[in-house]
């Protein structure tokens, strides 16, 4: 069973790593962000599988941390890509 779980983790890493081609090629920033998001989910899944296979204590907590923060990079990206509109709103509110 351990071998099966580790092979599954390896397979997931392989697939999401293929998805990284989108970070390389883009074309847009959104595509790059999506590939990073996919890698985040994949790394979480691989971590759970490795944790279950090797029984490393605390490894599930690492997955929990990754899951908690999974949205952060994308939120920062959308926030910094969007400001023009928000500023307009603000100026309208001030006047």
Minimal distance, residue 50 CB to another protein, in Å = 6
Minimal distance, residue 1 CB to another protein, in Å = 6
Tally of CB atoms within 10 A around 49: 21
Tokens of 63: 């997955």
Cβ contact 9:31 at 8 Å: no
- Interface with another protein, residue 42, by CB under 8 A: yes
In the block, residue with structure tokens 């309208």: 92
Minimal distance, residue 74 CB to another protein, in Å = 4
**Number of residues this chain uses to bind another protein (CB under 8 A):** 84
DSSP state of 24: H
- Interface with another protein, residue 95, by CB under 8 A: no
């Amino acid at each position: 069973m351990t071998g099966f779980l580790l092979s599954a983790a390896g397979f997931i890493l392989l697939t999401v790593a293929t998805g990284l081609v989108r970070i390389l090629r883009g074309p847009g920033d959104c595509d790059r962000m999506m590939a990073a998001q996919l890698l985040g989910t994949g790394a979480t899944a691989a971590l759970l599988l490795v944790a279950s296979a090797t029984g490393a204590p605390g490894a599930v907590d690492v997955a929990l941390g990754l899951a908690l923060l999974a949205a952060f990079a994308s939120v920062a990206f959308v926030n910094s890509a969007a400001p023009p509109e928000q500023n307009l709103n603000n100026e309208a509110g001030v006047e």
